[in-house]
A and B are shown apart, each in its own frame.
Chain A
Amino acid sequence: MSPRLRGFVALALLLVPVWASAAPKKLVLVFTGDNGGEIAPCG
């Protein structure tokens, strides 16, 4: 095995377990829209 190929294999071994064991990333997106100039609940 060439040194370059060994490098790729080592990199793959390093990266795969990290991805496999990492917890899912969580994100909350909050959206508003079409407010139409409202500034008060009954306005």
Chain B
Amino acid sequence: MLVLDAGNALFKSTDIREEPTARARAELLLQQMEAQGYAAMAVGARDLMLGVDFLKARTKGTKFKLLSANLTDAKGQLLFPASQVVTAGGLKVGVVGVSPPTGPALPQAPPVRGLPVLPAVSAEARRLRKEEHVDLVVVLAAVPYDATVRLAQDVEGVDFVVQSHEGRGEGMAQRQGLATLIPPGERGRQVAKLDLSIDGPGPFVDLSESTRARESQRMVENNIARVKERLGTEKDAAQREMLTQTLTSFEERRESLRKLADAASAGKSRTHLLSYVQLTESVAADPAVQQRVDRIEPPGSAAH
């Protein structure tokens, strides 16, 4: 398993003065991401409110890495690593982080600069493929949605793009040209789980179409069973005629769904399936972490 964050994790807004507990929250979040085995996170606009030095100091020596392929200082030097290569499940995964370009989506004052997104990601994806020989490339894109769509459509060598910026919440995996866009969820309410199966080269195929077809197939099977049951007891000829027609229609539908399900999954060497795990109160809290949360946000306080 590989755990990644698409960015904008640390602060509620882009104005730190509105948040008296912001520093304590951000420190706790960074510590917990390391403790929970996160491999990397992209640096988003809402992660920079206490500055680059704060982020670097709080992640010094951690396995967990902050990534950005396009944030630079005044001299044009990258402020964070552009990518990280992680081996998991026998696969070499290249993880690229990208931040907003200088402009409205990156309100930070100089010297932090955001270079254009597409060239930065394109160069790093190409390097990962040619020099690191990775099996797949995942981009953590802490950039506005429209820029993320362009990235997925146009940048070669990228398999998945996971987007954060506006807090769009959960959704479906969307094939956008060359890559697949993954919504990661928001505000700690859920985690996105992407199951991959790799059995050779080629583009990834979304198994959810096949899964939906099989679910519909099961519903049609239930309807067929009910119609057959009624046919077994029905004496009225007109009613029997109507039920027979319904049965024929259901059986045709079952066959078309079976073909759809088989076609979506047959012979594909790379597949993915997106689902979400909801982090409701049924998921038990770690008592030690809960104590630290309660110190920052006492139960009953305005923020709680």
Contact = CB atoms under 8 A, between A and B. Distances in A.
By size class, the interface of chain B is 35 or more
A25 interface: yes
A3 B150 CA distance: 50
B197 to A, nearest CB: 5
Interface string A2-42: 00000000000000000100111111111111111111111
A32 B12 contact: no
Contact of A31 (B22, B46, B194, B297): B194
B166 A34 contact: yes
B118 interface: no
Contacts of B5: 31-33, 35
B168 A34 contact: yes
B192 A25 contact: no
A33 B199 CA distance: 29
Nearest to B199: A24
B149 interface: no
Interface stretch (B25-33, B53-61, B65-73, B99-107): B25-33
Interface in B1-55: 1-12, 19, 22, 25-26, 28-29, 46
Nearest to A22: B199
B162 A31 contact: yes
A32 B6 contact: yes
Nearest to B195: A28
Interface residues of A, number: 23
A19 B160 CA distance: 24
Contact of A30 (B22, B90, B168, B192): B192
Contacts of B135: 25
Given A24-B199, A37-B25, A38-B188, A29 B138 contact: yes
Contacts of A26: 89, 195-198
B29 A37 contact: yes
Given A25-B89, A25-B199, A32-B184, 19 more contacts: A24-B197, A25-B198, A27-B2, A27-B196, A29-B1, A29-B194, A31-B3, A31-B4, A31-B193, A33-B163, A34-B9, A34-B185, A36-B46, A36-B187, A37-B26, A38-B187, A38-B188, A40-B293, A40-B304
